[in-house]
Chains A and B, each alone.
Chain A
Amino acid sequence: MATKGKRNFYLYLAIVCFVGIIAVFVIDGYLGVYDTFYVTAGEHEQEIAPDYWLHSERNGYYYPYQVGAEWGQTVRFRYEIDNRCLSSYSTYIHASLWKENRKLLDLFSEKRIIEPFHKTTAEWDLDSGDLQSSGFNIGEYTVRVELQGIERSIIVSYYAARSELAYPVYALPSAKIAGF
């Protein structure tokens, strides 16, 4: 009887180890600093979830996220940082605009202290009018965001504003319809 109890004890301990492994995956997956972008270009808001940056790495290269915007439009960025750590997270949030490895302008720069299990949001706009007045033209620009130990890149691809509708509009032959 005692041997059976001892035998089961080993089995229970093995089950505890298995549950422990699952718990480590769940807890480690939840804890950490998570950042989410919400980019609004035109009428479209795109969410760049933290998972994107985990999957964007191929052979040591991090593929940046790409956003399309009409030249003349303002692209709005909302950057949410979620501190799911037991200690507070202090960082400088620094967003800047780059082209061909040359910094063009600073978009946002501020120090934030995020309490454990709290969020903070930073917002800034990218106005193509500012670029135009500095002599820049339609093309691709990189928005680089730096935090303590984190760097994110988003490529903003500007395209020419359409002067006419993107789809043909045919006038309905009203007389014919009436006669039908």
Chain B
Amino acid sequence: MQMRTYILYGFGIALCISGVAYLAAEYVRYLSDWSKLVCLILSINLFALLGRHFQEAGW
């Protein structure tokens, strides 16, 4: 059960990262400078918080 949860987590995270990467590659040139900065800050927070979540989970 635990293993299946982790696999689902892994899928979710992979999909999130690939989605963000796709958006960044296709549309980032259409964003204004302020939006790019906000997206960068949010991306850093996203990965930091995910890292913290897995640290707390004991990974």
| A residues in contact with B43, CB < 8 Å | 17, 21
Interface residue tally on B, bucketed by range: 20 to 34
Least Cβ–Cβ distance between A30 and chain B, in angstroms: 11
Least Cβ–Cβ distance between B5 and chain A, in angstroms: 12
B30 to A17, Cβ gap below 8 A?
A: no
Q: What does DSSP make chain A's interface, helix, strand, loop or mixed?
A: helix
CA distance A3 to B58 in the complex (A): 11
Least Cβ–Cβ distance between B54 and chain A, in angstroms: 9
B residues contacting A by CB (< 8 A) are 16, 20, 23, 27, 30-32, 35, 38-39, 42-43, 45-46, 49-50, 52-53, 56-57
Q: Write 24 A-B pairs (CB below 8 A) sorted by A numbering.
A: A6-B56, A8-B53, A10-B49, A11-B50, A13-B45, A14-B49, A14-B50, A17-B49, A18-B16, A18-B46, A20-B38, A21-B20, A21-B39, A21-B42, A21-B43, A22-B23, A24-B38, A25-B27, A25-B31, A25-B35, A25-B39, A29-B27, A29-B30, A54-B30
